Structure 1
Amino acid sequence: MSTHAEEHVSVVVVGGGQAGLSISYYLKQYGVDHVVLEKRTLTHTWREQRWDAFCLVTPNWQCALPDYPYRGSDPHGFMKKDEIIAWLDGFVRHVDAPVREGMAVTRVTRRAQGGFLVQTSAGTLSADQVVVASGGYHTPVVPRMAERLPASIVQIQSSEYRNPAVLPEGAVLVVGSGQSGAQIAEDLHLAGRKVVLAVGEAPRCARFYRGRDVVDWLADMKYYDMPVEEHPLREGVRDNTNHYVTGRDGGRDIDLRRFASEGMELYGVLEDLEDGALRFRPNLRASLDSADDTYNRINASIDKFIAQQGIEAPPGEPYRPVWEPQQERATLDLAASGIGSIVWCIGFRPDFSWIDLPVFNGRGYPGHVRGVTPHEGLYFLGLPWLHTWGSGRFSGVARDAAYLADRILTQARPDARAA
């Protein structure tokens, strides 16, 4: 089939979140002809997949999109959902990207004559270069055992949770204790709901330590500038679960042990449903201890930095458990528990099945170095630890976008500059 009538764009950017808009900002600065394709609306994830009480877990000063830093009056505070959306709305206006909303990309493949074919819900484009900026959190993870739960139990995924009132009466089982699970469990707990939390293996960190936000200390220690190839885990860090902490009410620790002392029921990892009973892995104590070990290890690294630099700071001390599980409880009778709803908070899987190019590993993750793939002209942006800790966040995506824009410019044809 002839492709001569297809629209040609020098660079196609897939995804209209902060990553796609950031690369668009730099491509506009360079005058490179490009288009941003967004299957829904710009920055929709922040509007449609966050609960009402959502707030940042990193301080506002880390919000630093291209030529668009946080300029509010509370740099060490934590923007709430509405404030984040308003800030992003300003960034959308700031970039004024050449965007086409409601245009889903269904396939990207190589053209025989060079470049790429980009098939969309509204026709096909050709491009010299493609930037995949659609993030890495696409398909909500819900285990198949969910199909065997009673129909009377309402089940939602973390991206669908809004507030405690949307769930029916009764206890709520929250499955997973990463950032979303821990914060949603807290949201329900503060509202007076009975919460049963299936604790995962996520680590935790302190909000404040020795007089400052831990993020401020880690920034001074250059942790956020560490490239992935220098991290002790190397690329393995990309598989790590984020530490749980919160910016709610000015910021504080999330201490699952304290919640337990206040009536939250903690169990280990949820494994199955058998004969009307939920079955849990007997690893609650180990998970809590491991999370606290990480908490104390991070604080110890701050202690060492303070000592080495001769910094005057208030004294610190290790965290000591305020509650211990008396025994490992491996089962919970579902009917007797009073559980009326379940919130699945066990993450998302990437889905790059629409990219018909051999650049992925066995786990479906693209092979790249700082976003540059082995296929000339194909790039990824906005993935967790693409280059540094901040690559998938407001704090580091600008650096990554600038790097890729420079690369794109060197690869662009002379006629790729917009008029």
Structure 2
Amino acid sequence: MSSQETEVLVVGAGQAGVAMSQHLTERGIPHLVLERDRIAERWRTGRWDSLVANGPAWHDRFPGLEFDDVEPNAFAPKERVADYFEAYAKKYNAPIRTGVEVTSVRRKDGESGFRVETSDGTVNARYVVAATGPFQKPVIPAVVPDTQGLAQIHSSAYHNPQQLPDGAVLVVGAGSSGVQIAEELQRSGRQVFLSVGPHDRPPRQYRGKDFCWWLGVLGKWEMAAPPKGAEHVTIAVSGANGGHTVDFRALAAAGITLVGRTNSFNNGTMHFASDLGRNIAAGDANYLSVLDEADLYIARNGLDFPEEPEARVLGDNPACVTKPLLELDLGAAGVTSIVWATGFAVDYSWLQVDDAIDAEGRPRHQRGVSTEPGIYFLGLPWQSRRGSSFIWGVWHDAGYVADQITIQRGYAAHVADVPLRQAATSAQSHTELSERIAVTQGA
């Protein structure tokens, strides 16, 4: 591929890129998807071995293709999720080229579009969609120096307990990843310390329905932005072992020692904040609020759902919560490993256009439409709503971005030196294009 022309270049063939391709195909828009690895590679190698989807199979999928070998209420293993995206791409004949890395995107001088340099030549594109998602650069806080002799890995590099040296483990971060890794390590016979920060803790299931269903009917997935002050609050929910509500009291009862947020490290000792009790209480309040809203929804709609009073029984706080450790001598405690379940940062260093990225490296956009004309983003948390991080959510966001590209193609068709017949594809007449623009703008 020494040089190639395409109208839309999509960078990345994970769930976002595959969804984007399907919507562009549906609208008859010529495009190319480039992926430096395999389709949905992060599901295969950027996750631990036992990971399953956090939503049930009936929910965590795209329209038009079901998991034919996973029960609707079960949770698909990570390899099966990756296979699903490959099958979806094949079903819609997605023009995906794997093993091609995009190294730079620059606006052309004096003409519309972008010049894209790749590991396999140059691509000229009128529009570029950055569909690389949020999991680009693992974040490990600079807390413990490498000279301490501790094995330190990010959750994205963790695969199984056998990977770590013998000894106790400190897991920092109690969102879905941190909790599931801590549980797996504890079941393997390790002593585990789990650093717990602010979190939401929805019920995995309540009165016969999964939390994905409840958040849907209660309108939670459609929240446009996180509540003020909760921008960095994680969600603690698990699809592991058939799916269960995350219960920090149960984790403590199983032998995991809960501690507050990790603050600092010096002279072999880790120091924790005194916020453990508050974080647990706030998670409980979030949990109970979902139950309250669910009960009200059932009553208002006259639904005959089974009662579940035991779901409100939380039990007493364990000693590690009522008398939390504020510091831990890692050597004395036998801690030889730290797993940092501390999230990711984005990396758009390849996107070398003026206004697309802010001074902190984050994309400037509104629902995926960049402040830099012709650039679009897809696959970001809270891109348009709370559900944007989920598989079905990114599919809906891709539809919106595809509509915005369609609108811009319509405007481009009216440029004096661009014949309308040239701007419209063979699959879409001028009338059809105008109707789509009118419908989209009125939505």
**TM superposition score normalised by structure 2:** 0.86
Q: Which residue is equivalent to 2:26?
A: 29
Pairing 1:108–2:102 present? no
Aligned: 1:367 with 2:364: yes
> Structure 1 residue aligned with 2:239, among 226, 231, 247?
247
Q: Which residue of 2 aligns with 1:165?
A: 162
Letter in 2 for 1:331: E
8 Å CA contact retained: 2:356, 2:363: yes
Cα 1:275/1:63, change in 2 over 3 Å: closer
Runs of 4+ in 1 over 4 A off after TM superposition: none
Judging changes above 3 Å, is the alpha-carbon distance between structure 1 residues 283 and 223 closer, same or farther for their aligned structure 2 residues?
Answer: closer
- Give the equivalent residue in structure 2 for 1:335: 331
C-alpha distance in 2 between matches for 1:240 and 1:307: 33
Q: How does 1:269-418 map to 2 (within 5 A)?
A: 269-317=261-309, 318-324=312-318, 325-356=321-352, 357-361=354-358, 363-412=360-409, 414-415=422-423, 417=425
Residue 93 of structure 1 and its aligned partner are, at CA, apart by 1.9
Aligned ranges 1:19-168 → 2 under 5 Å: 19-72=16-69, 74-112=71-109, 113-148=111-146, 150-151=148-149, 153-168=150-165
CA contact (8 A) 2:330 2:336 kept: no
Checking the alignment, whether the CA contact within 8 Å between 1:258 and 1:323 is kept in structure 2 is: no
Compared CA separation, residues 227 and 376, structure 1 to 2 (3 A): farther
1:280 shift after superposition: 1.1
Cα RMSD, aligned residues only: 2.2
* Alignment partner, residue 253 of structure 2: 261
Contact 2:22 2:89 in 1 (8 A): no
CA deviation map 1:20-79 (0-9, x unaligned): 111112222333221111122211000011111111111111133253233445111111
DSSP 3-state at the match of 1:60: coil
Equivalent residue runs for 1:202-221 within 5 Å: 202-221=199-218
Q: Comparing 92-101 with 340-349, which one deviates more in the overlay?
A: 92-101
1:260 to 1:355, Cα distance in 2 relative to 1, 3 A: same
Cα shift at 1:283? 1.4
Contact 2:34 2:101 in 1 (8 A): yes
> Where does structure 1 lack aligned partners over 5 or more consecutive residues?
none
Given that 1:179 and 1:245 are in contact with CA atoms closer than 8 Å, whether structure 2 keeps it comes out as yes
How many angstroms apart in 1 are the aligned matches of 2:280 and 2:407?
50
Following superposition, the deviation at residue 163 of structure 1 comes to 1.1
Number of matched residues? Answer: 409
Cα distance change of structure 1 residues 416 and 49 upon mapping to structure 2, 3 Å threshold = farther
The one-letter amino acid of 1:168's match is P
Q: In the alignment, is the contact (CA less than 8 A) between 2:355 and 2:371 conserved in 1?
A: no
User: How far apart, in 1, do the equivalents of 2:368 and 2:301 lie?
Assistant: 35
Contact 1:65 1:395 in 2 (8 A): yes
- Structure 2 residue ranges without an equivalent (≥5): 414-421, 428-443
Amino acid at match of 1:298: V
Larger RCO of the pair (alpha carbons < 8 Å, separation 6+): 1
| SS of alignment partner, residue 320 of structure 1 | coil
User: Secondary structure in 2 aligned to 1:20?
Assistant: helix
Which amino acid in structure 1 is aligned with residue 9 of structure 2?
A: V
Q: Which amino acid aligns with 1:115?
A: G
- Is this contact kept in 2: 1:13–1:131, CA < 8 A? yes
Output the CA distance in 1 between the equivalents of 2:276 and 2:120. 50
Q: What's the CA shift for 1:176?
A: 0.8
Q: TM-score, normalised by structure 1?
A: 0.91
